[in-house]
C-alpha cells in the first residue's frame, strides 16, 4: 500500500507539472498561430519512490526543464551520475543546477537559437564558477525549436536523448555517446585532486543536429532510464498514440494535453515497471550481452519522460 500511495503521489505531481508547462507555452502563442510551437508534458519516477525527489524539475537524480522565450521553445533533461553517492556527494544537485541554469538563461534571452550546445556550455561553465563547488557528473540533452524557421536543434552528451516520430515512423533519433559499456560521456566537476580519476567531457563534445519540424511531430526527450528499459518499437507505438492526439484538436488544447499526458504517463510507468523486472530481456541487458556480460532483466533507474508535440 505504501508504494501505491507514493507512486500515485509522484504521478499526480508529474501531471500537474506537465500541464503547467503546457499552459505557459500555449498562452505565449495565442496571438500568433502561424508559427509552430511545442505543447509539452512530463512524467517521471525516482528509482527510490519512497525517498527520492519528486518536486518540479526533478525525479530522483534526473532533472528537466521546459520553457520559452520570444520565438523559441526549449526543453531539456539531465541525468546525474549516481555513483557519486558512494562518496557522500548528492548526484541530483549537479544535474538540477545544470537544467535550472539552462532554463534561466533562456528566460533571460542569453542563448543562441542556432546553438543548443552553447546553451549547455554556458550552464556548465557557470556551474564551474559557482562559489560553493557543485560536485558530480551528468549527461544532458537540450533541444531548441526556432519557431520562425520551423527548425529544431539539439545537443546531446551521453546516454540521455531524444526521438522524433512523424507519420507513424521514427525520423530522427539521438545516438548514445559511450566511452565504454555503461559509461557515457558526461559533464563533471570532481573533488579537488581527483581530476585524473574522473571522466570529464567538455560540453563541446556533445553531438549536435538540426532538422525541420512539421505540425504533429511527436518528440520524446528522456533519460536512459527510459531507453534502457523500453524497446524502440514499444516507444514508437506509444508515440503514435500521441500523434493521433495531436491530429485531432477537436476537444481543445487543454483536453488534448491531458490525453498527451496520458501517453507520457504510460511510457514512464512502463519504464518503471520493466526496470524492476528481473526476467525481462531489456535493451540494457541486450547491450550488456553484446559487450560480453551475461545479463538479464531491466535496469532500475530514475525515469524522466518529457513528451512534446509540434502544434500550430
Q: Indicate which CATH number applies to the domain containing 154.
A: 3.60.40.10
Q: What is the pLDDT of residue 23?
A: 36
In the chain, where do the E strands start and end? 37-45, 58-59, 62-69, 72-80, 136-146, 151-157, 161-166, 169-173, 178-180, 183-184, 187-189, 207-212, 218-222, 303-311
Domain count, the chain: 1
Q: What is the pLDDT of residue 27?
A: 36
176-232 pLDDT per residue, tens? 999 999 999 999 999 887 777 788 999 999 999 999 999 999 999 999 999 999 999
Tell me, yes or no, whether 163 lies in a domain: yes
Give the Cα separation of 110 and 108 in Å (integer). 5
Tell me, yes or no, whether 28 lies in a domain: no
77-132 pLDDT per residue, tens? 999 999 999 889 999 999 999 999 999 999 999 999 999 999 999 999 999 999 88
Closest of 96, 64, 65, 66 to residue 80, by C-alpha:
96
Tell me, yes or no, whether 136 lies in a domain: yes
Do 263 and 241 touch, CB atoms closer than 8 A?
A: yes
Q: What is the pLDDT of residue 8?
A: 40
Q: Which domain holds residue 247?
A: 37-311
Tell me, yes or no, whether 293 lies in a domain: yes
Q: What is the pLDDT of residue 33?
A: 52
206 HSE (CA, 13 A, CB side)? 27
Tell me, yes or no, whether 3 lies in a domain: no
Q: What is the pLDDT of residue 244?
A: 66
Tell me, yes or no, whether 122 lies in a domain: yes
The secondary structure of 275-299, three-state, reads: HCCCCCECHHHHHHHHCCCCCCECC
Tell me, yes or no, whether 79 lies in a domain: yes
Tell me, yes or no, whether 263 lies in a domain: yes
Amino acid at each position: 500500500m505504501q508504494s501505491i500511495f507514493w507512486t500515485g503521489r509522484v504521478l499526480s505531481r508529474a501531471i500537474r507539472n506537465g500541464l503547467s508547462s503546457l499552459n505557459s507555452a500555449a498562452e505565449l502563442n495565442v496571438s500568433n498561430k502561424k508559427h509552430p510551437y511545442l505543447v509539452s508534458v512530463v512524467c517521471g519516477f525516482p528509482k527510490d519512490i519512497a525517498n527520492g525527489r519528486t518536486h518540479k524539475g526533478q525525479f530522483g537524480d534526473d532533472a528537466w526543464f521546459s520553457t520559452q522565450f520570444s520565438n523559441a521553445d526549449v526543453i531539456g533533461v539531465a541525468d546525474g551520475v549516481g555513483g557519486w553517492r558512494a562518496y557522500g556527494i548528492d548526484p541530483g544537485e549537479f544535474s538540477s543546477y545544470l537544467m535550472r541554469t539552462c532554463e534561466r538563461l533562456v528566460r533571460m534571452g542569453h542563448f543562441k537559437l542556432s546553438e543548443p550546445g552553447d546553451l549547455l556550455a554556458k550552464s556548465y561553465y557557470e556551474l564551474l564558477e559557482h562559489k560553493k563547488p557543485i560536485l558530480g557528473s551528468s549527461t544532458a540533452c537540450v533541444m531548441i525549436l526556432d519557431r520562425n524557421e520551423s527548425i529544431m536543434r539539439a545537443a546531446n552528451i551521453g546516454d540521455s536523448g531524444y526521438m522524433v516520430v512523424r507519420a507513424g515512423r521514427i525520423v530522427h533519433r539521438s545516438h548514445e555517446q559511450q566511452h565504454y559499456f555503461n559509461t557515457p560521456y558526461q559533464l563533471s566537476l570532481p573533488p579537488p585532486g581527483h581530476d585524473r580519476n574522473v571522466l570529464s567531457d567538455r560540453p563541446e563534445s556533445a553531438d549536435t543536429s538540426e532538422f525541420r519540424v512539421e505540425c504533429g511531430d511527436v518528440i520524446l526527450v528522456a533519460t536512459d532510464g527510459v531507453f534502457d528499459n523500453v524497446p524502440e518499437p514499444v516507444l514508437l507505438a506509444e508515440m503514435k498514440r500521441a500523434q493521433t492526439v495531436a491530429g485531432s484538436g477537436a476537444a481543445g488544447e487543454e483536453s488534448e494535453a491531458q490525453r498527451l499526458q496520458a501517453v507520457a504517463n504510460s511510457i514512464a510507468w512502463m519504464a518503471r515497471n520493466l526496470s524492476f523486472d528481473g526476467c525481462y530481456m531489456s535493451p540494457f541487458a541486450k547491450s550488456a550481452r553484446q559487450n560480453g556480460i551475461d545479463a538479464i532483466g531491466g535496469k532500475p533507474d530514475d525515469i524522466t519522460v518529457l513528451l512534446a508535440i509540434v502544434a500550430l
